[in-house]
Structure formats: C-alpha cells, structure tokens
Structure 1
Amino acid sequence: MNQYIVIFDGNCNLCTTLVQLLEKLDQGQKFRYISMQDETVLQQLGITSQDCELGMILIDANTPNRRWQGTAAAEEIGRLLPMGEIFVNAYRSLPGLKWMGDRTYEQIRDNRYTLFGKRDTTYKTVYAADCGCASGGVGKEN
C-alpha cells in the first residue's frame, strides 16, 4: 500500500486539528506526518523552511520526488480518502471553484495564526514519518 507523508505546520491550531482528524480517519494506513518545525527531517528530504511557507506538502513515500503542495496537496489527500475522489472530482469540475479554493487557501495559509491561533507547543503526531533517508526510503514506521 502506498504511504504518503504530510508535512504540516505543527504550531497552527487549524493545521493540527485537521491532522488529528486525518489521523482518526486513516489510523496510519496511508498517511504519516512531519511537522514543518522538524527541520532536521525536512533537510533530509530536501525541503527548506521557504518551501514550507508555500503551504502543506504531500510526498509519495514510494516515489519521494512526487510531491504536491498547498491546495494540490489538500486535493490529493482528499482524493486518497475513501469516497474522496468523487468529491474532489466534483470540486475540480465546477467552474471557478478551484480558483476560489486556491485563493481561500492562500489567505488562510498566510493568516492562519491570526485566524486560528498558534499552539504553545508543536503538535507531536502518533503517526510520525521516519525519513529513513540513509537507506533511501521514506515514510516507514519506526
């Protein structure tokens, strides 16, 4: 089964709430997580803090060069969930909705702490991705 790595802002209340929801739905079956604050692991993946400023990142752990970011990452996560592809396809097919979704995502991304608050501590997921970069793999369970 494909494993995916979700890179999220572990200090953002909205981001961590959505990751917690995804954890409950998926229970580590498809998704593993790395917070944007884990610079050591991100560096091993070739991801910079500047990359993270553009929004969440989804990485196909089996093909690490296959990546999505921002709304593309959100759409791909949605598509991978049970019955999600139906909703993502409908969202993409309605004229103007994708454009509006992209703009809304950018506004929330750029103002997330103001809108939803900032956590005092970085969220630690129970489904953390183990980079395993030394062995060439990513996303394998510890």
Structure 2
Amino acid sequence: MLSSSYSPASPPRSILLFDGVCNFCEGVVQFISQRDTERRFHFQALQTEKGHEILDYYHLPKDLSTVVLIEEETGTYYLKSTAILRVLYYLKYPYPMLYPFIYIPQFIRDYCYATFAQYRYKLFGKKDTDRCIVNNQLKTMFIDWKSPFIQEDDNATGPKDTTTSSNNDNKKKR
C-alpha cells in the first residue's frame, strides 16, 4: 500500500479524478478547463500514485469505470452522472442549464453513464502513453502532474460496471 502524502489543501479544491488513458476523458478534462472561469477544478488521473492516495484518503474504490468529484471543503464526493452534473453546474453559461437533469432518477442517469463508460474505449480509443496531452496552463490545474501511473492488470481490460446497492449512492460524506 502507498504511504499517503495527500491531504486536503487550503483553500479547499474541487478535484476531478478521471481515467487517464481514456481519450474521451482527456477531452472532457480539456473541455472543463477551458470553461472553468473560476479555476475551481483540479484534476488527477485515477491510475496515478497521487490518484490512489486521494482515493485511499476518502476510502473510495479504485474503479476506472467512473469519474469522481471530491469537494475538499466538505469532504463530500460524487460519482458517475452526479459528478458530471455537479461539474457542469459550475462551468460558465450555458452548461449550468444542464443541471436540472439531476432530477432524473439516479439509477437511470447512472445506467446511461455506465453504458457509455463500457464503450468509451471502442468509440474514442485509449492512449498508449501514460500522460495527458495538455498545455502548460492545464498542467498547473493537476494535483500532481508528474505522479507516475500504476499498472494494474485487472483494470487493463477496460471499464466495468461495479454498481451495487450499497455503492449506488452518488453523494457520500467522508
């Protein structure tokens, strides 16, 4: 197990953990960074040592089939569709207009999310490299840009849906 050097920052950040080898996910990070006028969001790939430290700190599973949004200020985290909708809420107009989709029942939103996640590598591809292709400004929005990737065989085959009744809540408190 890794010794964790992660601790919440002061001032607190909103951290988006994403699949670092997924082309679509990298595009989403770039999309968010260009529309995050408040510079609220910071990023980290799930597969990195720092990503694992953050997941361990908040007692979250290392599941590459989802995106995780962590609000350090409250210790709250959001998964799957709820995480995406919360991010959209804080971007510049018109993206907050999509937030009312939060009222669609979570199991329906997450089913759609899981279905897309299952096929994202087939639709958009997967990088052979372990680094996102980003500009220098975006590098400053990463928690630890140089954090090495961790190779795990059980996650190498792609995403899988690990939704269970106990893990189906998309908002958790540490």
Q: TM-score, length-normalised on structure 2?
A: 0.61
Counterpart CA distance in 2 for 1:33 and 1:21 is 12
Q: Which sits farther off after the overlay, 74-83 or 11-20?
A: 74-83
Higher helix share: 1
**Offset of residue 117 of structure 1:** 0.4
The runs of at least 4 aligned residues of structure 1 exceeding 4 Å deviation read 47-50
Secondary structure of 1:51 counterpart: coil
Matched, 1:129 2:163: no
Secondary structure of 1:52 counterpart: coil
Cα displacement string for residues 30-89 of structure 1 (whole angstroms, at most 9, x for unaligned residues)? 0000001113442254168943234000001223x3000111100111112234443212
Question: 1:66 matched to which residue of 2?
Answer: 76
Contact 1:60/1:67 (8 A) holds in 2: yes
Q: Which sits farther off after the overlay, 69-78 or 47-56?
A: 47-56
The code of the aligned residue for 1:107 comes to T
The code of the aligned residue for 1:14 comes to F
Contact 1:3/1:62 (8 A) holds in 2: yes
**Offset of residue 99 of structure 1:** 5.0
Aligned 1:50-65 pairs, distance under 5 A: 50-63=61-74, 65=75
Aligned 1:1-80 pairs, distance under 5 A: 3-26=13-36, 29-46=39-56, 50-63=61-74, 65-80=75-90
Q: TM-score, length-normalised on structure 1?
A: 0.73
Alignment size in residue pairs: 126
Computed over aligned residues only, the root mean square deviation of the Cα atoms, in angstroms, reads 2.7
Counterpart CA distance in 1 for 2:38 and 2:129 is 22
Counterpart CA distance in 1 for 2:72 and 2:122 is 32
Counterpart CA distance in 1 for 2:128 and 2:38 is 25
Residues 68/92 of structure 1: CA separation in 2 closer, same or farther (3 Å cut) = closer
Residues 11/27 of structure 1: CA separation in 2 closer, same or farther (3 Å cut) = farther
Matched, 1:104 2:112: yes
Contact 1:4/1:58 (8 A) holds in 2: yes
**Sequence identity (%):** 24
Matched, 1:88 2:102: no
Unaligned regions of 5+ residues in structure 1, if any?
131-142
Unaligned regions of 5+ residues in structure 2, if any?
1-10, 145-174
Counterpart CA distance in 1 for 2:113 and 2:129 is 24
